[in-house]
Amino acid sequence: NRIASITLDRPPANLFDEDTANDFRQCLDNAEQDTSIGVIYITGKGKLFSGGLDLKSVDPTNPDYVSELQCNTFNPIVNQLYNSRKAVVCAMNGSAAGAGLMFGLASDLTYMKEGTRLAFTFADRGLVPACGATYIIPKLVGEKRALEMILMREKISAEQAVKEGLINGVYQDESEVLERVTRIAELSPEVIVLTKRAMKERNDAELLMRLRIEERIQDQALRLPSFQDGVKK
């Protein structure tokens, strides 16, 4: 019915190592190339949506690897989500942090299950905001509030996230989101493409520029002792 569904299923926290991230990116590519698809629907299995990067899969003494992973894998995924020609709808079935948080916020429409939280805890791991966080979060809540969320390492409830303008709504049962997804998918893929182009045409270049800045600054953070300490937490 013109819907491509992608489910994160890597228990217990749906963390992304390089292979999982590449699999996710390939799923997005496949949906993007399918002209019959109008909506990409993303959710997760288990109690968490995604905790982001699997820090156990990286060597904190090898910052070049982590930097390349951000540049060549994670940032392209964010760009795919944000600038997709499809309508991207994310139903966060559980709490999210790091890259998982940003994959959700980079989607066109974002819903969170009742009782879940968004964790802005990049700094607790010795990292600066990444995966488009320095572009997407200020765009949603303003620069001052975005900086406060990140420096205070806030954990924001689904209900508060709606009030802040971070997400579209809160759901109790997934069927509530699927009803919206189905309604959007009733539109022709061409109408969705043109509508998104009208709404977001200026944003693609701005996001790419911000991703490049994040990569440069994150590379500096990865070489600090605070990152190695953060990995051990």
The sign of the torsion formed by the CA atoms of 84, 130, 150, 9 equals positive
CB neighbourhood size of 166 (10 A): 24
Parallel, antiparallel, or unpaired: how do β-strands 48-50 and 95-97 relate? parallel
DSSP 139-175: HHH-HHHHHHHHHTT-EEEHHHHHHHTSSSEEESSHH
3-class SS at 42? strand
Helix 203-221 / helix 133-141 crossing angle, nearest 10 deg: 120
pLDDT for residue 164: 97
The token pair that represents 174 in the structure block: 């997934």
pLDDT for residue 112: 98
pLDDT for residue 185: 97
Q: Greatest CA separation found in the chain?
A: 52
The C-alpha torsion from 78 through 82 and 87 to 89, rounded to 10°, is 60
Give the C-alpha separation, 107 to 121, whole Å: 20
Length of the chain as a residue count = 233
* Contact yes or no for 2/37 (Cβ under 8 A): yes
pLDDT for residue 233: 67
pLDDT for residue 59: 86
Bridge partners, 40 (sequence order): 4, 88
For the full predicted model, state whether its pTM sits above 0.85.
yes
Residue type, 233: K
One digit per residue, the tens of pLDDT, for the chain of length 233 reads 899 999 999 999 999 999 999 999 999 999 999 999 999 999 999 999 999 999 889 888 888 999 999 999 999 999 999 999 999 999 999 999 999 999 999 999 999 999 999 999 999 988 999 999 999 999 999 999 999 999 999 999 999 999 999 999 999 999 999 999 999 999 999 999 999 988 877 666 789 899 999 999 999 998 988 887 777 66
The closest alpha carbon to 37, from 88, 2, 5, 6, belongs to 2
CA dist 180 → 47, 109, 146 (Å): 23, 10, 28
Token match 């992608």: residue? 6
- Phi, psi (degrees; rounded to nearest 5) at 4: -105, 120
